[in-house]
Structure 1
Amino acid sequence: MTANELGDLLAGVFAPAAFILLAVTVVMQAIELRAQRQELEETRDVFSAQNTLIGSQTDAAIKSADLFAAQNDILTAQETARLAEARNTEFVGLLQRIETILRTRLADRAPLTVNGSAHISLFDKRPMPLPEGSIAAIGTAADNALFAEQNRGGTKYQVYDKYGHLQAFQALIKLSKRAQEMAASLGVDHQDIVAEIRLVEFADLLERYVHNGVVAGR
């Protein structure tokens, strides 16, 4: 057999095998590509599902944050209202204590003196009738005491310290100042009350009497 014949024989044998191998390779690559494409699609679906889940979680987190903020606003408002109510209650209590001291310890007493030679009422009449209600009672007492002071011709009156008059004056001054502070923190309405009943002027008048001196009662 010649070399050409051998070459033709080998070509006849291996050519179909090569073709089959090529065909198998193409099929294998197609199968592999299809598998990769399917894997990519599945991966894309997973990513899409993850993105949807993340979006849902983000929305839930935003809603939770909004709910927390709303709850916090409600709690803050409630706490603010509670503190305001507590301050208002304290303010009312201060006025009631001032009223009590005026009624029980000064309205029918003579807590002022001039060097101990005379005992004089804080007001222009004795006993001093006070209306019902803390605001009305304090306002009436303050107006009357300030009016009485204007008509006394500049005489320096001292506190006649008998029956606890000095203690009553000091308590009124302290309570009045505290009421002024509370009114400042509570707002315009409470400040208007303090101005209406002339609480600042009244406290200043009491302080002036104490500053003028204290004469011990006998």
Structure 2
Amino acid sequence: MWMFIGLISFIACITFTVIAIVSVAKKNGKAKKQFVITAALFVIFIIAVASDPSTAVDKADNKDDNAPTKVAAIASDDVTEDDHAKKEIEEKAKLEAEKKEKEEKAKLEAEEKAKKEAEDKEKSIPREHRSALKKAELYAESMHMSKAAIYDQLTSEYGENFPQEAAQYAVDNIVFDWKENALKKAQLYAESMDMSNSAIYDQLISEYGEKFTAEEAQYAIDNLE
């Protein structure tokens, strides 16, 4: 409505302006009146344009439309950053889990391989060698004998009578604390026979006695209570 009034006012304003200019050119006395009418029509045009509700609505709509757009854009950026950070964390956790799984798998495979190799190796060892090793472990643990004394016992015809190869395999593969065995032997001599440290040392290293090494015997004397 206001747009239509403004358009009519604008056309009338242009028309009266032209008439006024022509009147001035012809020195017509009505020119002043025509200029007044033109000015009034121009004012009406300005008011009509300014009062057009459609223009105001468009401005308001534009303003309202822009606000949600900006908010949506900000919200979208926040969501994108959060998703990206979450995705990075998930990817990192996934890689760490895969790495740990691979390490555990490799460790398990290595243990299985070592076990199989040990079993294969044991199967390849002659029966007498394995028996001699078990006997050697029994003498070392229960009787606290030295390595040399165990070898003699394994090969003696009055003892276990194993072949020298089997006895040597046994003493080469037995794992034991020989110093601790020497100490236990020394304590036995000291408590049961009340022997001096010097006599105990000689008995420990004697070829006809316990056959411990000098280092093992000295350890026993140094730690004897």
| TM-score scaled by length of structure 2 | 0.42
Higher relative contact order (CA 8 A, sep 6+): 1
Bigger proportion of residues as strand: 1
| TM-score scaled by length of structure 1 | 0.43
- Higher-Rg member (1/2): 2
Bigger proportion of residues as helix: 2
